[in-house]
């Protein structure tokens, strides 16, 4: 793991990009410009916070009970599920959602132009990763922080045989009140409902969670929006290189999670950019797959 002094010397940019010690000593990237503020954990290469100067509230929910400990995923922000989404596809006892969110990523580059910040993080196959997954890979995540936030993920196959991955940016969006929140843009789209044994359903109108919600939307459009009447804002999500949106809220099952308060389900909804289930991606030797998503916050009267 890179140390803070070296990180600040190589990649720090005056007061705009700083590397600081976070909870439990975990290194964080702290960004502050005339456009936005943000925090990124090197553990998991994970966005924890993004707040444009024009916004009153953060884009993301981050649990106050989040556990900052190696081997545990940080609850909130935008963790990366990779190289599998959901339960271990091989039924080998490996943790759900893969291992990329539970490893420290390297900082490869940082740039600032006109108060737009771009940070590049990397993760590569090692002896540690091969304990869980034998493939040779290289991951690159580019984070663009400006008036909007964009995340680009590139998966490269550095080995000699094809491999299959599923993945998701498991974004936890902060809302003022889940009962006053709608997800629009998926009307008429088929989805698999995990709460109903992954049976196929068809979305009718906007999504308004009023109980546990865990759905994988199939052949999803590129754009959706979260309408948050409580915070009077609209979160626009646009992605490419992804075939699914996953919508999740644990509802009363939040009480069983040790890194979230029982009532926290009222304060977020996950709308995840994903390639999941039948939309897994096969990457040939020497080839790469790209996934990109952008988020913007607009006022909603």
Is residue 272 annotated as part of the catalytic site, yes or no? yes
Eight-class DSSP state of 82: B
Spell out the residues 6+ positions from residue 123 whose beta carbon is closer than 8 angstroms to its own.
45, 100, 103, 105, 106, 138, 139, 141
Report d(CA 137, CA 253) in Å as an integer. Answer: 35
> For 167, phi and psi rounded to 5 degrees?
-160, 160
Backbone phi, psi, residue 42, to 5°: -70, -25
Listed residue (68, 74, 61) closest to 265, CA to CA:
61
H helices then E strands: how many in the chain? 1, 22
Query: Is the alpha carbon torsion for 279, 102, 120, 163 positive or negative?
Result: negative
CB–CB of 204/187 below 8 Å? yes
The catalytic position among 97, 156, 266, 272 is 272
Which tokens belong to 300? Answer: 């909603």
* Alpha carbon distance 123, 43 (integer Å): 11
Catalytic residue, from 97, 156, 170, 239: name it. Answer: 170
Q: Which residues are catalytic?
A: 170, 272
């Amino acid at each position: 793991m890179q140390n803070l002094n070296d990180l600040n010397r190589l990649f720090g940019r005056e007061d705009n990009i700083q590397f600081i010690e976070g909870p439990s000593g975990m290194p964080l990237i702290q960004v502050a410009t005339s456009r936005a503020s943000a925090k990124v954990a090197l553990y998991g290469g994970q966005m924890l916070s993004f707040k444009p100067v024009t916004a009153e509230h953060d884009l993301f929910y981050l649990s106050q009970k989040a556990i900052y400990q190696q081997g545990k995923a940080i609850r909130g922000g935008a963790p990366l599920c990779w190289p599998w989404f959901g339960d271990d596809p091989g039924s080998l006892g490996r943790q759900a959602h893969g291992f990329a969110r539970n490893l420290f990523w390297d900082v490869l580059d940082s740039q600032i132009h006109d108060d737009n910040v771009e940070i590049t993080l990397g993760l590569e196959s090692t002896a540690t990763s091969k304990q869980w997954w034998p493939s040779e890979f290289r991951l690159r995540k580019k984070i663009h922080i400006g008036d909007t936030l964009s995340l680009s993920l590139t998966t490269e196959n550095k080995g000699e045989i094809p491999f299959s991955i599923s993945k998701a940016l498991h974004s936890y969006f902060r809302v003022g009140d889940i009962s006053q929140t709608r997800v629009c843009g998926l009307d008429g789209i088929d989805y698999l409902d995990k709460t109903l044994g992954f049976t196929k359903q068809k979305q009718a109108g906007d999504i308004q969670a009023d109980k546990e919600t865990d759905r994988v939307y199939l052949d999803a459009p590129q754009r959706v929006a979260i309408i948050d009447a409580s915070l009077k804002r609209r979160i626009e999500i646009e992605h490419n290189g992804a075939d699914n949106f996953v919508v999740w809220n644990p509802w009363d099952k939040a009480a069983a999670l040790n890194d979230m308060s029982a009532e926290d389900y009222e304060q977020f909804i996950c709308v995840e950019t994903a390639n999941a289930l039948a939309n897994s991606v096969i990457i040939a030797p020497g080839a790469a797959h790209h996934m990109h998503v952008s988020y913007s916050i607009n006022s909603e009267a």
